[in-house]
Amino acid sequence: MVDATAGLGRDAFVLASLGAPVLMIERVAAIAALLQDGLTRAAVAEETAAIAARMCLRHGDAAEQLVALVAEAEFAPQVIHLDPMFPHREKSALVKKEMRVFRELAGDDDDAPGLLEAALEVATHRVVVKRPRRAPPIAGPAPQHTLEGKTSRYDLYVHRSLSR
């Protein structure tokens, strides 16, 4: 599995805790450094060491370097997970403080269509894109499936069935 927009590593950690090896890619140097520190700490903590061992971090821009970063990690991803920065909201309520700070560091993901295109070329089986429930899909091909929750949804682009 590749988490091409690693961010704070939450999605990758959940997937690794379920037993999946996860290659995380983060393009913002400050965020990648924070994530590496968290991985280093998790690797020495008894309750998270096995999970951290399944996680690998690469710093780079997945929209431009996905093929090279995956090849460098010697990883054949069946699934690529994308969680680009959510679009700005029109609601008056502020998002959580940590996400406001994170957005300042990460900026907007104006290149999300290019990232989706790169992911569709590299993933052998599927690409999963996390979006706000009411946001439009990322520009490009339409997703074949959509799974909706209360606040977010997952757009699925399927090449073929997953092997067991």
In this predicted model, what pLDDT tens digit does every residue of 38-91 receive, in sequence order? 999 999 999 999 999 999 999 999 999 999 999 988 877 899 999 986 554 555
Between the alpha carbon of residue 49 and those of residues 2, 18, 64, 137, the distances in Å are 20, 14, 31, 36
- Encoded amino acid at 94, one letter: L
Backbone angles phi, psi at 131, to 5 degrees: -140, 160
Q: Which two tokens stand for residue 33?
A: 């450094």
Neighbours of 78 (CB within 10 A): 16
76 vs 124: CA distance, rounded Å = 8
In this predicted model, what pLDDT tens digit does every residue of 109-150 receive, in sequence order? 567 899 999 999 999 999 999 998 888 999 999 999 999 999
85 vs 130: CA distance, rounded Å = 9
Instruction: Report the pLDDT value the prediction gives residue 153, as an integer from 0 to 100.
Output: 95
Provide the whole-model pTM. 0.84
For the chain, domains (ranges, CATH) are 2-158 (3.40.50.150)
Contact by Cβ (8 Å): 39, 57? yes
Instruction: Report the pLDDT value the prediction gives residue 88, as an integer from 0 to 100.
Output: 46
Residue 81: strand pairing partners: 3, 128
Instruction: Report the pLDDT value the prediction gives residue 42, as an integer from 0 to 100.
Output: 97
Instruction: Report the pLDDT value the prediction gives residue 95, as an integer from 0 to 100.
Output: 53
